[in-house]
Structure 1
Amino acid sequence: MSMNGIDISNWQNGINLDAVPYDFIIAKATQGKTYVSPDCARQVEQARARGKLFGVYHYIDGSGAIGEADFFIDNIKNWVGEGMLCLDWESNQNSAWDNEDYLRQVAQRVIDRTGIPPVIYVQQSRMAQVKPIADALNCALWIAQYANMNATGYQDAPWNEGAYSCAIRQYSSCGRLSGYSGNLDLNKAYMDAAAWKKYANPSGGASAPSPAPSKPSASAPSGSTLDLVYHIVTNDINGDARRDYCGSRYDDVQGFINDTHDASASTLAKWIRAGKYGNNPVRQTVIEACGGKYREAQDIINGKGKQTTYVVKSGDTLSGIAAKFGTTYQAIAAKNGISNPNLIYPGQVLKI
């Protein structure tokens, strides 16, 4: 028995999940200790209203294992026991990459907080390093491996199927499905609906009740939005504590954080010149804590321009490199004469 599904993030903001065919979705919820995907709640609730299976994932960025896990759980606690919990372990925007013990700490903290072993997403080339941790913690694996970057619909038998065991296989980032005009990540889950629900709620018991939503403080804190963000990131204020601190200004503050995380280096440079981030140390602290491209933006401001070459490291993917530089894998492939974007090699120098 198997099922077809998609994983989505704010790159698919506004996607109409009533129009797209799928058995399940897995939506990005959080990243690091500051970023909350703006469209996650809408995406999840639309799928749930349709009676579909769902999961949520946290993108690990290396900013502190316990803090990352807590930030994830604090932001998705209403879905604990209802949807599959997943951890995304990738090289891009992850300072802990190559340190699988960090991944173990995050996964263990999720288990300690929820009693639920998270499903771990990783590229197939890193599976050997991650599998022992997954086995030790009873975590299932969600493996990414692509045959090519060609557009495709759902596949009954993805390339290399059966070469290794996993709970979910992501086999394309160029999926095309009716009801949505852009690319989608396509997945095959090797389970039925009952098994999915077992991953989401291994004990089969009722979900732990969520605390009552925090009420905004009667008077919002003073200071600029930048002041509030700086206070939050330097004092590691997350979850309900962040909502309590920000009060009625929470949406503005979280929007500032999300915009900083998502912005290209050139956009950040423009905002820096306009004074949005003030001066250092505030500027660097805020941008880096929000996952922004501080160094690249400063290079643009200082007249160095964007980095024009990149040396491929073990575990890199062309799409991951493209995301790092605010471009597309197609553009990098064309600039470097790469006919198969799935084949790059450590030590290879790429023009960006």
Structure 2
Amino acid sequence: MVLNGIDIASYQSGMNTGTISADFIILKATEGTGYINPTWRSQADKALAAGKKIGFYHFQRGGNPVAEADYFVKTVKPYIGRAILVLDYEASDAPGTGGAKQWLDRVYATTGVRPLIYTSTSWENSRDFSAIAAANYGLWIAQYNNYNVVSGYQPRDLYGHVNHWKNIAMFQYTSSGRLGGWGGNLDFDVFYGDRAAWYRYAAVNGKVAAPVAKPAVTKGVHFRVPNGFTPESGTFVNGNTEIMTRLHTASVHDKEGGYLPSHGTFAYDSKKRIGDIMWVHHMFGDNDVYLPTGDKYGAWGTTRKR
């Protein structure tokens, strides 16, 4: 099984990451020790609310690798354990592979998450990555055959080979991808694994924080309206994506409660808009369950009031 997704930076700041067609979205978070992508967090939250998997990358410059690693970790700390972490190793002033390994080692030591390294086939073939591969840091490889427009995900085989890894974790196969809902080119990526494998890459010290996908159950519901929510009895019918429910509070940072599958239904007793996201609520046993149903750009399914 594979997952299809995109990686984005501030160039795609206007993208609705909740509705764009992607199993995962990897966002640029930081660069060097002085730049933070201004929209990374809001776009990450929308992607999480819509049930997508996320990752963050740091664009390495020529500064101190440990300082750059600490800058990245401080920025993305609230998402550690739920996102894969990546070193983007391609800049003309980037250090040698020893400096790249210093960054990877520091992130691993401070977070417990073993990062991936992103680089091109030309760099992987021409530089000595043996120590990085031996330390079990996964490879995200980039290689384009041409710059022709690719409409929709069309994963292909890598042209050429890699010298230091037996397996590739992820492959960026074009920078000219096109998807509905976005007017410009996109980087298309294929991840060689399923949802559970993705979460293993995000795991802290091998402990997977996120659950394996499962339907959100709505049977056996009794109602209790949370403070601040407006009473409304209805059923939300999901669209073509999966949406992660949350337990305890209406926040994408709270405990994950399972997925509402595509075209699944969710009975609710109340609703509330928090920021850009519309949340609905129901009780399952003694647990409060919250579901994000859309953002300011539109709903992710349909609502039937009772």
Does structure 1 retain, via aligned residues, the 8 Å contact 2:18–2:49?
no
1:123 paired with 2:126, answer no
Runs (4+) of structure 1 exceeding 6 A deviation are none
Q: CA deviation at 1:163?
A: 4.2
Match of 1:140 in 2: 138
Question: Is the contact between residue 19 and residue 180 of structure 1 (CA under 8 Å) also seen in structure 2?
Answer: no
Equivalent residue in structure 1 for 2:176, among 166, 174, 199:
174
Larger % of strand: which? 2
Change beyond 3 A, Cα 1:206–1:21: closer
Structure 1 residue 139 displacement after superposition:
0.7
Contact 1:55 1:86 in 2 (8 A): yes
* 1:109 correspondence with 2:109: no
Give the C-alpha shift of residue 138 in structure 1. 1.3
SS of alignment partner, residue 187 of structure 2: strand
Q: Is the 8 A contact 1:19 1:178 kept in 2?
A: no
Q: Choose the corresponding residue for 1:184, options 186, 192, 212.
A: 186
- Distance in 2 (alpha carbons) for counterparts of 1:50 and 1:198: 20
Listed as ranges, the matches of 1:253-332 within 5 Å are: none
- TM-score, normalised with respect to structure 2: 0.63
Measured against aligned partners, the alpha-carbon deviations of 1:278-311 in whole angstroms (never above 9, x if no partner) come to: xxxxxxxxxxxxxxxxxxxxxxxxxxxxxxxxxx
Greater shift after overlay, 121-130 or 105-114? Answer: 121-130
More helix by share: 1
List alignment gaps of at least 5 residues for structure 2.
211-306
Q: Counterpart amino acid of 1:113?
A: T
Q: Alpha carbon RMSD of aligned pairs, Å? A: 1.8
Q: What letter corresponds to residue 170 of structure 1 in structure 2?
A: Q
Give the Cα–Cα distance (whole angstroms) in 1 for the partners of residues 144 and 8 of structure 2. Answer: 17
- After superposition, the C-alpha distances for 1:184-237 in whole angstroms (9 at most, x for unaligned) are 110011110000000000522559xxxxxxxxxxxxxxxxxxxxxxxxxxxxxx
Q: CA deviation at 1:130?
A: 5.4
Number of aligned residue pairs: give it. 204
**The residue matched to 2:57 in structure 1 has which SS?**
strand
**Structure 2 residue identity aligned to 1:127:** E
**In structure 1, C-alpha distance between the alignment counterparts of 2:36 and 2:67, rounded to whole Å:** 14
| TM norm structure 1 | 0.55
Amino acid at match of 1:81: G
Is residue 207 of structure 2 the alignment partner of residue 204 of structure 1? yes
Corresponding residue to 1:193 among 190, 195, 200: 195
| Structure 1 position 56 matched with structure 2 position 59 | no
For 1:69 and 1:158, the matched residues in 2 are separated by 32
Are 1:17 and 1:46, in contact at CA under 8 Å, matched by a contact in 2? yes
Q: Tell me, in whole angstroms, the C-alpha distance in 1 between the residues paired with 2:209 and 2:53.
A: 17
How much identity, in percent, do the aligned residues show? Answer: 39
List per-residue Cα deviations over 1:5-50 (Å, max 9, x = no partner).
Answer: 0000001012012331110000000000010000100111010000
1:157-203 alpha-carbon deviations (Å, 9 max, x no partner):
42536845311000111110011001111001111000000000052
Residues 117 and 137 in structure 1, CA contact (< 8 A), matched pair in contact too: no
Structure 1 stretches of 5 or more lacking a match? 208-352
Q: What does residue 11 of structure 1 align with?
A: 11
The structural deviation recorded for 1:134 is: 2.7
Look up the SS of the partner of 2:150 in the other structure: coil
Q: Closer, same or farther in 2 for the Cα pair 1:24/1:205, shift >3 Å?
A: closer
CA contact (8 A) 2:202 2:208 kept: no
